[in-house]
Amino acid sequence: MAARLAAARAAGRAALIGYFPAGFPTLERGIESARAMVEGGCDVLEIGLPHSDPVLDGPVIQTADDIALRGGIRIAGVLRTVREVAAATGAPVLVMTYWNPVDRYGAERFAAELAAAGGAGCILPDLPVEESEGWRKAAEQHGLATVFVVAPSSRDARIAAITAAGSGFVYAASLMGVTGTRESVGRDAADLVRRTKATTALPVCVGLGVSNREQAAEVAGFADGVIVGSAFVRRMLDHAGREAEGVAALRELAGELAAGVRQPKAPGAPAA
């Protein structure tokens, strides 16, 4: 993953990071969807582990999680998704999950099986840094990155503590609230990236709210990576019962967003 993010930076652009939940709308279609997102232009993938109480996620991803859970998705299916997508595409694949499923499964067991599946790491939005040592040791032992989230409300000292504990990249939430597409990405995002970069050499990638090429280009002007989730999930929800068309729509959206992050930076724009 570090190499993929560094390659994007060397090319003078931000990376495009796409999110899609495992098991949605079915296990097989979820795998096909994630592959299509890479084919369309995503550099890195986040595979969501569906959860019944997704505190960070808005109604779009909650709906997809409910469909996946009702369809019988379990951790084994999430790991299969990671394995098949990583093998087929060569893209770095992370799991985005809340802590409770990992804790119940066993941190060491989950880290070992994720690494064996070819996973690149985990994003753990609700795991406090102060309580993360056990997971971080298991992740490090198996060569996995641990990505933490910073928010506009995070004070500088808190950001420094989070970035010191994390690895891979830092997930910067562009605004306060849950995931979902927005008309505006949030005016605080650029300032949050600036404050975060003052504490770490890790790439800083921005998520929450990006849904189109123009927003992707805007965020790419100041961040190392642009994270898009709800917009992809919405495309598939909009094609309920026509999932083959939905997969094609995901590939098309990935291409549009990839074109956005690859736009030349405006004169005087800060380097990613």
The Cα 258–Cα 252 span in angstroms is: 10
Has 156 been annotated as catalytic? no
**Cα distances (Å, whole numbers) of residue 204 to 54, 173, 191, 193, 253:** 23, 10, 12, 6, 23
The residue written with tokens 């990006």 in the block is 210
* DSSP single-letter state for residue 155: -
Give me the DSSP letters along 82-121.
Answer: HHHHHHHH---EEEE--HHHHHHH-HHHHHHHHHHTT--E
The active-site residue out of 32, 43, 57, 84 is 57
State the Cα torsion 93-114-117-52 to the nearest 10°.
Answer: -70
Has 108 been annotated as catalytic? no
The Cα 54–Cα 97 span in angstroms is: 9
The active-site residue out of 32, 39, 43, 46 is 46
Catalytic residues: 46, 57
